[in-house]
Amino acid sequence: MVRDAPVKFSKESANGLLVQSVSATAIRVGGESYAHSIALTPEQLVPGWQSKPVADLTIADFDELLGNSPELIVVGTGSRNLFPPRDLVFAFARCGIGLEVMDTAAAARTFNVLAGEGRRIAAVLNLDP
């Protein structure tokens, strides 16, 4: 089932950036709407995230996020949950960093909860192509 109405989340946080809403066409963070995939930490939007199909992701795609020493990276795959490549899962395990992959609305909620707890989290949030 595809949700037509935007999913609203938190408006602001003392701990940094939170995802305010996710719809089929945009992700709203820090009062700005993005009509493309984004990567973020509670401190910043990561510039230059290059969207690519989940099946094509490699550990090198996450270099800038990994530079922030996250304990977990959540990846939102759009309106449907898609599985990442097995090699990517193993690469994250070898680094000792958690990788969770889920639909984008769930990834945004997870990011908000963990960021609100002050956890070292990063997220990649994709919209459907």
- Confidence label for 105 from pLDDT (cuts 50, 70 and 90): very high
Task: Give the integer Cα–Cα distance in Å for 87 and 106.
Answer: 23
CB 99 within 8 A of CB 22: no
Task: Give the integer Cα–Cα distance in Å for 77 and 75.
Answer: 6
Q: Which residues pair with 118 in a beta bridge?
A: none
- The per-residue pLDDT for range 86-100, each reduced to its tens digit, is 999 999 999 999 999
Q: How far is CA 55 from CA 82, 92, 100, 117, in A?
A: 8, 15, 14, 30
- The per-residue pLDDT for range 30-52, each reduced to its tens digit, is 899 999 999 999 999 998 888 89
Q: Which residue has the tokens 């990442």?
A: 84
CB 75 within 8 A of CB 49: no
Q: Which domains does the chain show, CATH number per domain?
A: 7-126 (3.40.1230.10)
**pLDDT at site 129:** 77
The phi, psi pair for 89, rounded to 5°, reads: -60, -45
**pLDDT at site 47:** 86
